[in-house]
A and B are shown apart, each in its own frame.
Chain A
Amino acid sequence: MYEIDPTRLDLAEEFRQKPYGRHSAELQRVLNRMRSEPFEGHYVLIREGRFGPYRLGRFGPSPADPIDFTGHVFASAREAEWTVFKLRWQKLTGRELPLD
């Protein structure tokens, strides 16, 4: 299993600058690891209106189960990507990401 190197802050910065589109090969590995978390607890955005706001939640054990909201609210999906990246970075590396 690919392990995220917590010293590679350059990859986090690359993602912050450009969350969608072409990434470096190493950042893509980081994202693949982060995004392939199991269904239970998987982060999901709940869009309340036609174009927002977005509330962050996590799936329950199965699709039929209720979503557990984390309390985060975002104006855009792009904004949410960075917060979830930081949350996953901490979970997978055991270290808080020292970037805003």
Chain B
Amino acid sequence: MPKIVGYTNRLSVRPGESIDFKVSCEEGAAEYDAEILRLICGDDSPHGAGFKAHSVAGSINGRYPGRKQRVNAGSFGYVAQGVPIENHAQFVVGLSAYPTWREEKSEQTLIAARAVDRPGQPGWAMTLDAEGRLRFEISDGRVTSSATLSRPVPARNWSRLLATIDWSAGEIRLEQVGKIAETRATAKLSVDRSALAAAPLTIAAELVEIGGERLFTRNHFDGKIASPGLWWRDGGDRSAPEGTYAVWDFSIGIDTQKIRVRFGNGHDGILVNLPTRGVRGPIWRGKHQRWSDSADDYDAIHFHCDDLHDMQWETDFSWTIPADLPSGIYAARITCAGNGEDFVPFFVLPAKDAKKAPVAFLASTFTFLAYANSHHGYEDPLSEVCYGALLELGPTEMFLKERRDFGISLYDRHRDGSGGVYSSWHRPILNMRPKRALWNFNADLHVIDWLTAAGQTFDVITDDVLHAEGESLLRDYRCIITGSHPEYHSTQMLDAFEDYLQKRGRLMYLGGNGFYWKIATHPDLPGVIEVRRGEAGTRCYELPPGERFHSFTGEPGGLWRSLGRAPQALVGVGFVAEGFDANSYFIRTEQSFDPRAAFIFEGIGADEKIGDFGVLGGAAGYELDASDPALGTPAHALVLARSVEHSNTYLLTPEELLAGFPGQDAIENPKVRAELVYFETGNDGAVFSTGSITWAASLCHNGYDNNVARITGNVLRRFLDPRPL
């Protein structure tokens, strides 16, 4: 289990800018050491290229006091000032709830206001008890009164829940009204109203501690809440005067992290830990599929006990990037007693006004975020069928299994079964590390290793900066190289690529399953991405109908292919199949002998197997892309090579099928293959695509002397040559 972990406040940084490091010694080490490394290769596997890193002289290198930093996962609404309860005969608390727990769990708080800083914590709370029954509790700090319904509130249905605290009658009345059942209960009320005072109000959790800027909570509710409110009445009959303290309307500001009152002034609040917005409310009937078309249908928020935005750890040290630090992938290596070690990666871009290297490696920071701290590889019972190998949990996975409070990925389901749609880098991302599985970050270091071994000068740029700055980030480079799996992109990023390729830009897409899912970001939430998976694609869950538009932007989510911008149109190939048990190789096609492609195959024999080697067993593997003119592969694109001999576990992706029928594996279906593709773009730009995730893992084979490295090097050399193609 990791003994020490850390994260930074940003992933991308330029010389002159500062980056903060936050560290937690999970087993209580009193001190730890930190050292900045430039990462070259993270592949420490027995037959890999080896772990390679250079120490960087940095002012922050040294010993630091250790501490375990706290985490508060689980989302909730928070109204800091609370709502004062006035001297009326009745006080009414009400909301609509859609519980989604799948099994009995401990108490879940729907709405509460207790003074956590006063003896006895006077206040009140509407909760579901461990059996899922509605309960209301009120206390003056000495005496507590409560009422509980006899039956559970129905799961996965909307119910209106009301608690009336009737001071004049001396009783608490509870009601649950919904389609499935109605229940009521009454209990004696004996608390001293004068001892109550306004306390911070929470929705979907109960506050237990305020620590400076940080809030600590418990009893998180899993499910949706709509229209919570507090009212007063001055008598029991319908003609009695009545009024509203506050009613929060979650249809207001769906693209924000604020909760606003429709009635009652001064009681706006905030959301903590990114509950899901843009979800179906009680009146949604399918007429509208996009929240921005009818916000009233989307007046609900889905809270989860394992939502997480920002761990808010204290900063241990900050580093201002020196002006002469070369662009690259770096990490703070932090170590503590007992062989505790973690690498906290960050990406140093060149200064905006610096002379650029001829080529830039584009780090897939949004894809790293999408997979951050993923649990899906073992929580889905069908994973073993997909992988074609026994499920395996290493120390990191076991740590994450125990520590759900480190948040989930965009591949995981929350504890209640709903899909995760937001991911943040404000937490340790334990699968974005060297010396881990050869997947995403660590697999991409193979490209860095190869560039370094080749003596090629290069810069590193990132998804998040590309999203922010667009084509201006790319235009200074003759060539852009991607990692092994650049899967997640925003509209702005695709626009930037298209623009770049029409302005002499040359792109080497050294991966598979790229440019696949659309993501969105929010200007108020740096370091967070959102995905809304719909009814197409290879995916771990499907969001409910009506919830497939990004809450951050209102844009439709899903596959870029489903949205009319298939990867085949951008890079010539798009995702067709995946499998994980064994990898394979490519053979050349007739088109590889086209004179336009001669430079690519210099030194390559006509009958050579391409990539029948490598630390992952073959250059064609894991996730495969192929050309498809119907989806936009340019007519003049050359399909240079195709992969062959994939195993039974390589299956066609669902979006390639209009109906289920037999024969969709690599044994029977010739569409299950990767393709190497090359084509020229406007104004002498060009694209070279490998269509395979494991291509990069073969680069280092035989001391970088192999046909995968040769082809990649041939392309890079020519792409850096300004002469027309």
Q: Could you tell me which A residues sit within 8 Å of B by CB distance? A: 19-23, 25, 28, 31-32, 35-39, 42-51, 54, 59, 62-64, 67, 77, 80-81, 84
Q: In the docked arrangement, what's the CA distance between A98 and B219, Å?
A: 53
- Chain A residues lying within 8 Å of B655, measured Cβ to Cβ, are none
Closest to A40 in B: B381
A25, A35, A63, A80: the one contacting B378 at CB < 8 Å is A63
- Chain B residues lying within 8 Å of A48, measured Cβ to Cβ, are 395
Query: For window 620-672 of chain B, which residues contact chain A by CB distance below 8 Å?
Result: 645-648, 667
Instruction: Tell whether, in the assembled complex, residue A45 and residue B385 are in contact, meaning their CB atoms are under 8 Å apart.
Output: no
Q: In the docked arrangement, what's the CA distance between A84 and B378, Å?
A: 17
Taking chain A's interface residues, is the majority helix, strand, or loop, or is none over half, making it mixed?
loop
Q: In the docked arrangement, what's the CA distance between A39 and B417, Å?
A: 14
Instruction: Tell whether, in the assembled complex, residue B645 and residue A45 are in contact, meaning their CB atoms are under 8 Å apart.
Output: no
Distance in angstroms from B65 CB to nearest chain A CB is: 29
Instruction: Tell whether, in the assembled complex, residue B389 and residue A20 are in contact, meaning their CB atoms are under 8 Å apart.
Output: yes
Instruction: Tell whether, in the assembled complex, residue B45 and residue A51 are in contact, meaning their CB atoms are under 8 Å apart.
Output: yes
Q: In the docked arrangement, what's the CA distance between A64 and B398, Å?
A: 11
Interface: B404 (CB within 8 A): yes
Q: In the docked arrangement, what's the CA distance between A21 and B44, Å?
A: 24
Instruction: Tell whether, in the assembled complex, residue B398 and residue A22 are in contact, meaning their CB atoms are under 8 Å apart.
Output: no
Q: Which of B393, B435, B646 has the most chain A CB atoms inside 10 A of its CB?
A: B393
Distance in angstroms from A51 CB to nearest chain B CB is: 7
Q: In the docked arrangement, what's the CA distance between A39 and B102, Å?
A: 15
Instruction: Tell whether, in the assembled complex, residue A36 and residue B382 are in contact, meaning their CB atoms are under 8 Å apart.
Output: yes
Summed over the interface, the residue pairs from A and B with CB atoms below 8 Å come to a total of: 79
Query: For window 571-587 of chain B, which residues contact chain A by CB distance below 8 Å?
Result: 581-582
Interface: B131 (CB within 8 A): no
Taking chain B's interface residues, is the majority helix, strand, or loop, or is none over half, making it mixed?
loop
Closest to B380 in A: A39
- Chain B residues lying within 8 Å of A51, measured Cβ to Cβ, are 45-46
Instruction: Tell whether, in the assembled complex, residue B385 and residue A46 are in contact, meaning their CB atoms are under 8 Å apart.
Output: no
Residues A43 and B390 in contact in the complex (CB < 8 Å), given A63-B375, A63-B401: yes
B45, B103, B582, B667: the one contacting A62 at CB < 8 Å is B103
Total chain B interface residues with beta-carbon distance under 8 A = 31
Q: Which of A21, A32, A49, A64 has the most chain B CB atoms inside 10 A of its CB?
A: A21
The 7 closest A-B pairs by CB, nearest first: A21-B582, A39-B381, A35-B384, A47-B394, A63-B379, A20-B581, A28-B648
Instruction: Tell whether, in the assembled complex, residue A21 and residue B392 are in contact, meaning their CB atoms are under 8 Å apart.
Output: no
Instruction: Tell whether, in the assembled complex, residue A38 and residue B395 are in contact, meaning their CB atoms are under 8 Å apart.
Output: no
Interface: B609 (CB within 8 A): no
- Chain B residues lying within 8 Å of A35, measured Cβ to Cβ, are 384-385, 388
B391, B394, B415: the one contacting A42 at CB < 8 Å is B391
- Chain A residues lying within 8 Å of B435, measured Cβ to Cβ, are 50
Distance in angstroms from A96 CB to nearest chain B CB is: 20
Residues A36 and B385 in contact in the complex (CB < 8 Å), given A23-B647, A46-B398: yes
Closest to A62 in B: B103
Distance in angstroms from A23 CB to nearest chain B CB is: 6
Instruction: Tell whether, in the assembled complex, residue A45 and residue B390 are in contact, meaning their CB atoms are under 8 Å apart.
Output: yes
Residues A44 and B390 in contact in the complex (CB < 8 Å), given A20-B581, A63-B379: yes
Can you list 19 residue pairs at the A/B interface with Cβ under 8 Å?
A19-B389, A21-B581, A21-B647, A28-B648, A31-B388, A35-B388, A36-B382, A38-B381, A42-B384, A42-B391, A43-B390, A44-B391, A45-B390, A46-B398, A47-B394, A47-B395, A64-B415, A77-B392, A81-B390
Instruction: Tell whether, in the assembled complex, residue B404 and residue A64 are in contact, meaning their CB atoms are under 8 Å apart.
Output: yes
Distance in angstroms from A61 CB to nearest chain B CB is: 9
Q: Which of A22, A28, A45, A54 has the most chain B CB atoms inside 10 A of its CB?
A: A22
Q: In the docked arrangement, what's the CA distance between A80 and B394, Å?
A: 15
Contact with A along B20-53 (1 / 0, CB 8 A): 0000000000000000000000001110000000
Given contact pairs A20-B582, A46-B392, enumerate 19 new A-B contacts (beta carbons under 8 Å): A21-B582, A22-B582, A22-B645, A22-B667, A25-B648, A31-B388, A32-B385, A38-B381, A43-B391, A44-B391, A45-B391, A46-B393, A46-B398, A47-B392, A47-B395, A51-B46, A63-B378, A63-B401, A67-B393
